[in-house]
Chain A
Amino acid sequence: MTQSPTGITGFGAYIPRLRLSRKAMAAALDWLDPNLAAQGKGERAVANWDEDSLTMAVEAARDLLAARALSPDRLVFASTTLPFQDRSNAGLIIDALGLDGGTRPADATGSLRAGTSALLSALEQTGTSLLTAADRRLARPGSVQDFTYGHGAAAVTVGSGPGVIAEFLGGHSIFRDLVDHYRAAGEAADYVLEERWARDEGYLKIVPVAVKGALSKAGISADQVDHFILPGTMAKIQATLAAKLGMRPDSVVDPLAGTVGDTGAAHALLMLADILGRTQPGRVILLVGYGQGADAILLRTTKALADFIPATGVAGWLSRRQAEDRYLKHMSFSGMVDIHFGMRAEHDKRTAHTVAYRKRDMVNGLTGGRCGSCGCVQFPRTRACVNPACGAIDTQTPVRLADEAAVVKTFTEDWLGFTPCPPLAYGNVQFANGANVMMEFTDIQAGQLSVGLPVRLVFRLKDDDEKRGFRRYFWKATPQGGA
């Protein structure tokens, strides 16, 4: 062990609250293919209409950060479902997290391995990285993938020193252009080939090469691996590979297939966050990412692991759950059916980008102002203080509201206004520091809102400008902790 080890220094996760029943999905499709009943087990995590890979990545990073201040050298966002092809997605995450301007953003994409490849790169670099990974992969209704995919995100920080909770022991990466599935640019869903071929010629031949390479570099034998992490929803694929490679049967980590589904580029890191949240110091973790080749990364947890606790963690997100059995709702959220929302949905959502740029810290980071003269905290931040007893000019300094305690002051559930998931709920939110913002509520159940209800703030999609292919984000309030 080196004096100043490099490795993982923190972890976080995010699993959206809606969990779609696969039994309900199969029941809706029994006319199409009665054999889909075999897929009707457990549930999968589905994003709310206002969540995409970017918003989920922000939540995973916030889960990691909790209240910790951090200024990483790099912020990497790995996903195969980046909302923008040309606009720094990672940069928007930096803004949403309120990190200072010194962090360099990078998007990593192009393969389901994007998450593990970015992690390997970060581990091999000097300096500190905040790595986020998230996917909201869409699948055609009736496809097996619509059953097996899940939506979610994970985050890890990489660095060196005493804060390392899982030391990097070695890694190996190989590339093979084996196209068992692909998604061409501009396509909504994957094109997927026969599973037997993908398993026999892909997983079973390619993963061992990467794993053996990593074990050899780290000087670790297969039976020393305590936790074998490999995403994938093929039956028994993890156990088969563990046996083939000589790993103990109990090393196989649950791929969360029955509770979350396969979260794409995020999944290896989501499983890692799950294990880090429940393992002990001194355990060897083998983390494998698969997709046109494979990455294998070996880590050993340290004593510092016990000191790191994410805000909610995988177990917490799994229990923050709302059962959903309406497949049609999921299809509408995915854009796979074109639901009639009435003429109010035609409202033009054109963005004045000049304004969005001027106000970017307020909109992206929910940053208001604190008057240096009277102390009044207000949103938006303006040149003239809103306090009627003050009114001082040019006295306000930025103050971030996104992590402040807040309660519902007023609310309504509006069945007239357009939203992809009626009712449109909104109201005034009172912050503990005195600020007041009228904003949307999200992830609520009918009748859940009440005056005084504690809420937390989440970064969400505000609206989609389908005419111009742009999407806007802003912060919304959601009941604290509640399902």
Chain B
Amino acid sequence: MAKGIRDKVAIIGMGCSRFGERWDAGPDDLMLEAFQECIKDAGIDKSDIQAGWMGVFFDEQSVGKSALPLSMALRLPNIPVTRVENLCATGTEALRGAVYAVAAGACDIAIAMGVEKLKDTGFGGLPERTKGTFEDLWLPQNTAPGGFAQLGAAYAARTRTDMADLKRAMAHISVKSHANGALNPKAHLRNPITEQQVLDARMVAYPLGLFDCAGVSDGAACAIVTTPEIARSLGKHNPVTVKALQLAPSNGVELAHGSWDGSYTLTTRIAAKRAYEEAGIQDPRAELSLIEVHDCFSVTELVVMEDLGLSPEGGAVRDVMDGFFDRDGKIPCQIDGGLKCFGHPIGATGLRMVYEIYLQLQGRAGERQLPDPRLGLTHNLGGLPNRNITSVAIIGRLEG
């Protein structure tokens, strides 16, 4: 019986570029920016890295196919590099490759890099893409906000929540993330906003207004991983380790089986359950210190609180309005601003989340540092509620 990934791999260095509309930088520049911070943090030489995983979603938009862009940008010494893509879970998928390689003993030190250069399209929002040759014949040419917006009406109907109350809770989520982002020098959006601003904003996709949507950003984030033993030999005491790393893709149930009611994200429920088991967590609401969830849209953050088992069924609105997920609440969520304000360069996002947990666990998060966090969770939801990939990672420290 497999024992899972818990405490088999340590993160010894991380880096993250400034996120935002980086008119000044291409994907190669962004990767190098993240790497410079990461390699310095790890305290190793580039030649110590034995394998790499690179995640990018819109390859057609920026770097092209294959793992060459990472090998070329960092001038890696011809080590094996694998390019991965799994929608918005791409960054976590890159980390998963590197972590599994180390855990398998295939290499001692590996790098995971996520990057996305979105602001070379010439228009706002995410680029258009094909869904597949058959899918294009029947699925609507929806946008990301339109895909997630549907959670709103379905959640309100299931939980008998008044749409005005749901909208206020969604606004609270965005106001909180803007307040958090304002304290983060690398964040894309650093302007505090008010609940009224959110409620008055123009509609993007009902019921999502402009401030219910995450920023579309350029950026890169990376991690260098190794075994806890090597980490300690490099002077990293109580190293940050991976407690769980789970991935759950849809198999068509939400898309084509009538059992899904459209008000929750099925794969989040599955991935979270597996991750808690892998990490040995009994009561996530009591045990987690902070979380970074996939708040591509305010309504997504709201419903996944129930999917992650943090809020009781139908209780997310109350928890949000009670401030349970605010920076001074029981489980601060998006303490770095989240996708909403740190930004959402798709391929980098999963690693950016881990970056924040990594800094917080070591007390290195500057102005936004939380008091004594022990265990953090990251969550990505790639795709749409009816067809998606969820990744959940749990990060902590290993005594010794």
Contacts and interface: CB of A to CB of B under 8 A. Distances in A.
Interface of A: 342-344, 346-349, 351-352, 355-356, 359, 362-363, 376-380, 382, 386-388, 409-418, 423-424, 426-428, 430-431, 434-440, 449-452, 462-463, 472, 474
16 contacts: A346-B128, A352-B134, A355-B137, A363-B137, A409-B262, A411-B153, A412-B145, A412-B206, A414-B146, A414-B205, A415-B203, A416-B204, A417-B141, A424-B146, A439-B138, A463-B141
Nearest to B207: A412
A235 to B, nearest CB: 46
A438 B123 contact: no
Contacts of B208: 412
4 closest residue pairs by CB, A with B: A414-B146, A410-B150, A410-B262, A412-B149
Given A342-B123, A438-B139, A412 B157 contact: no
Query: At the interface, is chain B mostly helix, strand, loop or mixed?
Result: loop
Contact of B128 (A344, A380, A462, A472): A344
A435 B258 contact: yes
Contacts of B140: 417, 424, 426, 438-440
Considering residues A351, A428, A439, A452, which has the most beta carbons from chain B within 10 angstroms of its beta carbon? A428
Contact of A436 (B121, B128, B204, B256): B256
Contacts of B122: 343
Given A412-B205, A416-B204, A380 B138 contact: yes
Interface stretch (B23-31, B247-255, B357-365, B370-378): B247-255
Given A343-B123, A344-B123, A414-B205, A428 B150 contact: yes
A435 B152 CA distance: 22
B50 interface: no
B36 interface: no
A452 B128 CA distance: 30
Given A342-B123, A416-B125, A424-B141, A434 B258 contact: yes
Interface of B: 121-123, 125, 128, 130, 133-134, 136-143, 145-147, 149-154, 156-157, 202-208, 251-253, 255-258, 260-263, 385-386
A436 to B, nearest CB: 5
B142 A417 contact: yes
Contact of B146 (A356, A359, A416): A416
Contacts of B260: 436
Contacts of B252: 382, 386
A410 B128 CA distance: 22
A277 B22 CA distance: 66
A380 B256 contact: yes
B257 to A, nearest CB: 5
B257 A414 contact: no
Contacts of A414: 142-143, 145-146, 149, 204-206
A418 B138 CA distance: 16
A244 B58 CA distance: 72
Contacts of A411: 150, 153, 206
B305 to A, nearest CB: 19
Given A409-B261, A409-B262, A435-B256, A347 B137 contact: no
Given A410-B150, A416-B145, A386 B204 contact: no
Contacts of A363: 137-138
A41 B161 CA distance: 47
B121 to A, nearest CB: 8
B123, B152, B255 — most chain A CB neighbours (10 Å): B255
A428 B386 contact: yes
A417 B146 contact: yes
A362 B138 contact: yes
Contacts of B154: 409-410, 451
A438 B255 contact: yes
Nearest to A414: B146
A415 B258 contact: no
Contact of B256 (A343, A379, A426): A379
Given A359-B137, A424-B141, A452-B157, A415 B256 contact: no
Nearest to B148: A412
A376 B123 contact: no
A261 to B, nearest CB: 31
B150 A427 contact: yes
Name the residue in A415, A424, A431, A435 with the highest tally of chain B Cβ atoms < 10 Å from its Cβ.
A415
Contacts of B150: 410-412, 427-428
Most chain B beta-carbon contacts within 10 A, residue among A348, A382, A417, A435: A417
A362 B206 CA distance: 29
Contact of B153 (A379, A380, A426, A451): A451
A79 B74 CA distance: 63
Contact of A451 (B128, B133, B137, B157): B157
A428 B257 contact: no
A321 B137 CA distance: 30
A412 B147 CA distance: 8
A418 B123 CA distance: 13
A76 B123 CA distance: 46
Contacts of B153: 410-412, 449-451
A349 B253 CA distance: 27
A415 B205 contact: yes
A364 to B, nearest CB: 10
Contacts of A348: 130
A377 B256 CA distance: 9
B279 to A, nearest CB: 25
Contacts of A387: 257
B146 A426 contact: yes
B138 A474 contact: yes
B256 A386 contact: yes
B332 to A, nearest CB: 30
Contacts of A349: 136
B137 A351 contact: yes
Contacts of A450: 153
A449 B136 CA distance: 24
B386 A416 contact: no
Contacts of B138: 362-363, 380, 437, 439, 462, 474
Contact of A472 (B137, B202, B251, B386): B137
Contacts of A412: 145-147, 149-150, 152-153, 205-208
Nearest to B138: A474
B36 to A, nearest CB: 34
Nearest to B146: A414
Contacts of A377: 258
Contacts of B251: 386, 388
Most A-side CB within 10 Å, residue of B136, B137, B207: B137
Contacts of B133: 352, 355
A347 B128 contact: yes
A416 B134 contact: no
B206 A413 contact: yes
Nearest to A408: B153
Nearest to B122: A343
A427 B150 CA distance: 7
Contacts of A410: 150-151, 153-154, 262-263, 385
B386 A438 contact: yes
Contact of B262 (A356, A424, A428, A463): A428
